[in-house]
Structure 1
Amino acid sequence: MSGGQRAALVVLTRDDAIRERMARELHRRYDRDYAVVVGADAEEVHTGLAEAGNLPVAVLFGVLGEADPDGLDRLRELHVGCQGSLAVAAYRWGAFETAGAVFEGITLGQLDRHVAAPEQEGDEEFHLQVSEMLEEWTNRQGGGFEAVRIIGDRWSERAQHLRDTFTRNKIPIGFHDVDSAAGRAMLADLALESPRLPVVVLRFRPGRPVLQNPSDLDIANAFGLLTPLDPELTWDVVVVGAGPAGLGAAVYAASEGLSTLVLEPEAVGGQAGTSSMIRNYAGFPNGISGNNLAFHAYQQAWQFGATFHFMRSATGLTTEGELHRVALSDGNTVLTRSVVVATGASWRRLGVPELEELTGRGVFYGAAIAEAPAMRGRHVFVVGGGNSAGQAAVYLSRYADRVTVLIRRADLSETMSDYLIRELDALPTIDVRGRTQVVGGSGGDFLEKVVVRHLDTGEETVEDGVLFVLIGSEPRTGWVAGTLAQDRWGFLLTGHDLIDAEDPPAPAWPLDRAPAMLETSTPGVFAAGDVRGGSVKRVASAVGEGALVVTLVHAHLADLRAHATT
């Protein structure tokens, strides 16, 4: 075994031919970094792992087929002792009779993926899937290259925000607690005796800039992201927000030749970017994390020519004749012929004062993916009954000793997709409590106690635990309050809702023609995704609205050109 090997790839099957082919292919490609261990039974695998130095297991392949009719059961049994590894069902190509059992295992969270065993040397389809598995396993482990190093208080809200933002933007980070020996040594190496925390070191930039308690704009400037925008330039479309709807609009607008500017104050992906695994998005049978889905869309829009302006939010919108001016949080403005508002929504707060004070220190809003590894040994409460809450619970169960989902309804049947409900039911470390509400909590530097009330009996229990809150959304429309018509919850009114409402909205639709389907009360300003009243709260529908809105933008721009020539 090479001293550089960091994990093992394990194959469990009684089928000699499949075992030989998989071993050969894995050895040929991965020997440098991974030990390949094969066995007909668990005893042979354990012996092979011991001979390899008891390396952690990255991927555990269990074969299902004629020689292994109990292959999935044996895989699950072996996986119990290989926590952290990906459990992958392998099968002979064309063994379609295995599909039902494999798909059921994935739905119930008992399998991570499935793959057809290689049939010939250099089976690139097989190796493509193995590479994706190894990438997923590596991401789960953390560590590795630190493009950005953060030194600070582990549970400060600001440090948590930075970890989450960098992680969602796929920037490799390393976090080091200021009270650890490593953290103190790093500060000493930087000649910082009493720094303002957190300290952020950009190790990939020339000179390795060191920032003390930087603002988001400070970080954007140090990253080189503050490229001034040309004040004389008029854009075809400005997309406000880089969640699924905004990214969908950016991809289609830029690919169709429109000059496109995207404004994003935090990270690409919006709420969807925090989802650990989306299994019902068309085209990804093995599922895809919200972060990866969003980042691929960002790269796609960027390649087509869209300009992204990060770490700035829109603060106001005015109309100047047939043009629109968007005010930015950095004091600048941009001029555009059309606007797509895709600012999405933020997680609704619990509204419990003592818990609000512990935000980032045991109380997290959203999935907070970057915090999941720190949940080892803890009891985690996930508050919420939607798909995002279910996905967070599944992901957190990889680390936490126990995960409890708290919901106000009696069950999840009306609020969560069936595949997620079944997965939650099947995972032994997750339980769901209906008709419950978090009403209090306490702690010093970190949340220590959670108070849960049963809504029917009024009984309250005090338990140790950490809170992840995903209880619905509030639209991010404060910046256009009074400018664009909204419903009573603050969502933007579009299309027929502007003219069919029983109470005429304010501002009213100003033109004789009817507004377009996704057009707001200001002609040429459109809304897409969760920010829009009546939207379907699904990633696919948000992307679809982003694509559709570009067709409406084209029609609006054509009207402007026609008006200019008459």
Structure 2
Amino acid sequence: MTVDRPAIVLLSRDPGMRALVQRALRRRYANDYDVRVHGDAASTRETLDRLRADGVPVALLMVGYGAAEPDGLSVLEQLPVERTALRVSVVRWGDWSTTRPIFDAIGMGRVDRWLTCPELESDEEFHRTVSEFLDEAATRRGTSFEAVRLVGRRWDRRTQQLRDMFDRNHIPTGFYDVATPDGQAILLGAGVSDPALPVVLLHFRRDATVLQNPSDIQIADAFGLFEPVGQDEEFDVAIVGAGPAGLGAAVYAASEGLRTIVLETEAVGGQAGTSSLIRNYLGFPSGISGSRLAFRAYEQAWTFGARFHFMRAATALAASGNHLSVRLSDNSSVRSATVVVATGAAYRRLGVPELEALTGRGVFYGATVSEASSVRGKQVYVAGGGNSAGQAAVHLARYADRVTVLVRRSSLAETMSEYLIREIEAAPNIAVRYRTEVVGGTGTEFLESLRLRDVDTGREEEVPGTLFVLIGAEPRSHWLGEEIAKDRRGYVLTGADTPPRAGPRAAALLETSLPGVFAAGDVRRGSVKRVAAAVGEGALAVSLVHSYLGWLRAAR
């Protein structure tokens, strides 16, 4: 079957700008994209309607804005285009009068990105930016390349876990429901009958490896991600967790020559890895998805020489003399002079039995990006009032008919960044219900309805919809023994908060009650729940590791 090329649609009523952008687009992208160029809104609207009728996706809708077309922002907002397309405002370099209106429009979700018109014959800065936009648009639509094929039951919990794990680790995956002809054809082609579901086919391997109901460790081994650690091997620092804090520590530790290993049980990025778009991280003015940011950090740490140990969970931590040992879920262990605990936090559970039973079948914890396309045309509810909930709502609104954010508080101001609040308020299909909580639900195979309660009046109502839960966090510190002091909620105590201890050294700023063990990120009491703060703590932890290693050498 022939698939039509995605379209790039440009509208500019400024002949000079139109000629420059048209030339740049057609010279570089015409082989892979259907580039359509217009000088008036009416013909642009006709083209968009025709593309939609023909089933051709629009990757970028680009509209000029400036002195020659002062209403460019409103025209861009009003033109009909699917929500998976990026709406891009194009301006001339040096037209500073456009900057504040564009930034305000982006902040309110009316525009996705902005771009400077190319002034040179070959403007590589322009093309770098366009390529990033096209990559993001392709991610929104879904990729056609399948490194892995996953066959399973649509709402099976394990199948959901694998889809999410592959997605967060940037593994191009095609999912096929076993009940469909396509799913059956793939199993037949792989020579699999009466399979133990889910089935994972490593399509990128020459030997076409087939795994039936595999464990995480079996998947890691099949991918070649597992590099055994020798019994006598010892590291300078073992980092437990590959979220922003762990990745920050890994980059700085490995780049400074420390023998570094990172232990991660799921996927790089932690909670931040599930965020569809982080717009307040330093250096990314247009924003970046959490998974993309995490994957770049992973590649950076790997380039510097950090070792990564995937799909093994830390189960215990013990000290023996000047050595530390992290016990793993496969009964192996990793020896290190120091440990950085960066296990982060997990989304708090609702604690509603009938909804817990439907986890992965209409009830999702976290902003499960792999499920976004499945809510097309549906009513979606997002429980939570923090940045993660806001980012999830904005992302899901590209697919769902309507998204309702459920907040127990009477305001979002104390828990959510201002830019997200403005974007939610401006989105036509996002609503916020304050002083509302989820108390029940119905469904057998799939969530059918939710029961919501007004916190003030106690009034309850049932509504149909899909639920995404992002209601705060619980620290992942259960694997740490009593040697590591924690507060009553399980957050790890560091520095001056730790109990007094014997010996010549007081606990350093991020050091725990066990010498040589440091904590960074959301698992630590007093941490700032922001990606940049977690990365900073990871970097700071490495400087403290250096000091501790120096003290150890001097004490010998």
TM over 0.5: yes
TM-fit CA distance, 1:49: 5.6
The answer to whether the 8 A contact 2:147-2:203 is kept is: yes
* Paired residue secondary structure (1:166): helix
> How many angstroms does 1:83 deviate by?
3.6
- What pairs with 1:416-565 in structure 2 (closer than 5 Å)? 416-499=416-499, 509-564=501-556
Whole-angstrom CA distance in 1 between matches of 2:192 and 2:205 = 19
Decide whether the 8 Å contact of 1:38 with 1:48 is kept in 2. no
2: CA distance between counterparts of 1:277 and 1:360?
22
Take 1:388 and 1:426, find their aligned partners in 2: how far apart are those partners?
18
Distance in structure 1 (CA, Å) of the matches to 2:346 and 2:107: 29
Q: Deviations over 1:415-440 (max 9, x none)?
A: 10111001000001000000011000
Report what 2:395 is aligned to. Answer: 395
Deviation at 1:66, TM superposition (A): 1.1
Alignment-mate amino acid for residue 57 of structure 2? P
Amino acid at match of 1:290: G
Aligned counterparts of 1:286 and 1:68: Cα–Cα separation in 2:
23
Secondary structure, aligned partner of 1:478: coil
Cα distance change, pair 83–344 in 1 and its aligned pair in 2 (3 A): closer
**How many residues align structurally?**
553
| Contact 1:384–1:471 under 8 Å retained in 2 | yes
2:21 corresponds to 1:35: no
Q: Could you tell me which residue of structure 2 aligns to residue 340 of structure 1?
A: 340
Aligned match of 1:12: 11
Counterpart-to-counterpart distance in 2, 1:357 and 1:119: 58
TM-score with structure 2 length normalisation? 0.98
Displacement of 1:45: 2.0
Instruction: Write the deviation string for residues 439-493 of structure 1: whole angstroms up to 9, x where unpaired.
Output: 0001111100100000111100100011100000000011103130000100000
Structure 2's unaligned 5+ residue stretches are: none
Structure 1 residue aligned with 2:192: 192
Counterpart for residue 105 of structure 2: 105
* 1:68 aligned onto 2:69: yes
TM-score, L = length of structure 1:
0.96
Q: Is the 8 A contact 1:338 1:525 kept in 2?
A: yes
Give deviations 1:3-45, integer Å, cap 9, x for gaps: 8751111111110000011000000001101111111222222
Distance 2:523 2:46 in 1: 56
Which deviates more from structure 2 when the two are superposed, residues 219-228 or residues 356-365? 219-228
Q: What residue is the counterpart of 2:120 in the other structure?
A: 120
- Contact 1:268–1:298 (CA<8 Å) still a contact in 2? yes
1:51 deviation in Å?
Answer: 8.3
> What is the Cα deviation at residue 155 of structure 1?
0.9
Once the two structures are superposed, the pairs formed by residues 355-370 of structure 1 within 5 Å of their partners are: 355-370=355-370
Give the aligned partner of residue 502 of structure 1. none
Give the distance between the partners of 1:48 and 1:27, measured in 2 at CA.
Answer: 17
Q: Could you give the per-residue CA deviations for residues 191-221 of structure 1, whole angstroms, max 9, x where no partner exists?
A: 3232111110011123111111111011111
The 1:512–1:192 alpha-carbon spacing in structure 2 relative to 1, beyond 3 Å, is same
Relative to structure 1, is the Cα distance of residues 140 and 81 closer, same or farther in structure 2, using a 3 angstrom cutoff?
A: closer
- Superposed, 1:285-324 pairs within 5 Å as 285-324=285-324
Whether the 8 Å contact between 1:4 and 1:33 is mirrored in structure 2 is no
Contact 1:38 1:44 in 2 (8 A): no
RMSD in angstroms over aligned alpha carbons? 1.3
CA distance in 2, matches of 1:530, 1:49: 45
Shift of 1:55: 2.9
1:163-183 CA-to-partner distances (Å, cap 9, x unmatched) read: 000000000100001111111
Distance 1:183 1:5, change over 3 A: closer
3-state DSSP of counterpart to 1:273: helix
Is residue 239–residue 341 contact of structure 2 (8 Å, CA) maintained in 1?
yes
1:290-324 CA-partner distances (Å, limit 9, x unpaired): 11110110000000000000001111011000110
Secondary structure of 1:462's counterpart equals strand
What is the alpha-carbon distance in structure 1 between the residues aligned to residue 127 and residue 438 of structure 2?
47
Cα gap change, 1:396 to 1:54, in 2 (>3 Å): closer
Task: State the match for 1:504 in structure 2.
Answer: none
Per-residue CA distance 1:334-377 (angstroms, 9 max, x = gap): 11100000000000000000000000000000000110000101
Relative distance call for 1:428 and 1:46 in structure 2 (3 A) is closer
Q: Deviations over 1:276-295 (max 9, x none)?
A: 00001111100111111101
Distance (whole Å) between structure 1 residues aligned to residue 227 and residue 104 of structure 2: 50
Are 1:249 and 2:263 matched, yes or no? no
Q: CA–CA distance in 1 between the matches of 2:55 and 2:400? A: 24
Could you give the per-residue CA deviations for residues 56-77 of structure 1, whole angstroms, max 9, x where no partner exists?
2110111111111101111111
Structure-2 separation of matches of 1:120 and 1:386: 44
State whether residues 486 and 492 of structure 1, in contact with CA within 8 Å, keep that contact through their aligned partners in structure 2.
Answer: yes
Q: Is the 8 A contact 1:12 1:62 kept in 2?
A: yes
Gap runs ≥5 in structure 1: 500-507
Q: Is the 8 A contact 2:269 2:290 kept in 1?
A: yes
> Aligned to 1:479, what secondary structure does the other structure show?
coil
Query: 2:544 corresponds to which letter in structure 1?
Result: L
Between the aligned partners of 1:298 and 1:258, the Cα distance in structure 2 is 16
8 Å Cα contact 2:83/2:399 also seen in 1: no
Using the alignment, how far apart are the partners of 1:308 and 1:459 within structure 2?
51
Give the aligned partner of residue 56 of structure 2.
55
Kept after mapping to 1: 8 A contact 2:317/2:481: no
Q: Deviations over 1:483-524 (max 9, x none)?
A: 30000100000000114xxxxxxxx53334321000000010
Question: For each residue in 1:132-173, what CA deviation from the matched residue of structure 2 results, as whole angstroms up to 9, or x when unmatched?
Answer: 000001001113111010000111111110000000000010
Please state how far the C-alpha of 1:331 moved relative to its aligned partner: 0.8
- 1:84 Cα shift? 2.2
Question: Which residue identity is paired with 2:538?
Answer: G
- The secondary structure found in structure 1 opposite 2:160 is helix
Contact 1:37 1:49 in 2 (8 A): no
Provide closer, same or farther for how the CA distance between residues 185 and 419 of structure 1 changes in structure 2, counting only shifts above 3 A.
same
Native 8 Å contact 2:76 2:111 kept in 1: no
- Tell me the residue number matched to 2:144: 144
The amino acid across from 1:95 in the alignment is: D
